[in-house]
Structure formats: structure tokens, C-alpha cells
Amino acid sequence: MTIALLLTWIGTACWGVCFWWMHRLSSRQEMMLKELHDVTKRIEKLSKAEHDLIREVHPKVDEIKESVKDVSDAVSSQSERRASARPASSR
């Protein structure tokens, strides 16, 4: 009878330790999930800011490409005029 009572108390103590351990793990997991949630919010905020910057810069990129193409066309047309204006002997 004493062995059964002793094993009952040991089993109850084990349940208590197990409950405490699971509560501790759960608390740590909850903290980790909160940190992860905060990190994802920061990433979303940065991503939105980056997206807005790209959207703001994108039309300017097209304008720059057009400007570069205009300059390239002007330079190539000047080069062609100079090449045709040179005498044949100097080529």
C-alpha cells in the first residue's frame, strides 16, 4: 500500500513538472511568435517603402532612357555627317 501511495505521489509530481515544462515552452514559443510577427511587420513596411520608391523612380528611368536614346541618335547623326563631309583621300 505504501508503494502505491509513493508511486501516486511521484506520478502527481511528474504531472506537475510536465505541466510547468509545457507552460515554459509555450511562453517561449509565444515570445518567439511575437518577435517573428514584429519582424514580418517591419519587413512589410520596408517592402512597401521600397515598392513606393521603385514606383516613383520607374517613370524617370523611362525618361532617362529616352534622353539617352535622343543623345545617341544626335551623336550618331553628327558622326555620319562628319564622315560624309570628309574627303575620300583622308579615309
The per-residue pLDDT for range 32-80, each reduced to its tens digit, is: 999 999 999 999 999 999 988 887 777 676 677 778 888 888 888 877 7
* pLDDT at position 89 over 60: no
**Which pLDDT value is given to residue 71?**
82
Output the CA torsion sign for 10, 16, 17, 18: positive
* pLDDT band, residue 86 (cuts 50/70/90): low
The Cα–Cα gap between 57 and 55 comes to 6
**Which pLDDT value is given to residue 74?**
82
> What CA–CA distances, in Å, run from 66 to 9, 53, 54, 55, 76?
84, 21, 18, 18, 15
Nearest 5 degrees, angle CA 78-CA 83-CA 87? 140
* pLDDT band, residue 10 (cuts 50/70/90): very high
Nearest 5 degrees, angle CA 53-CA 59-CA 65? 120
> What mean pLDDT, rounded, does the chain reach?
86
**Which pLDDT value is given to residue 41?**
96
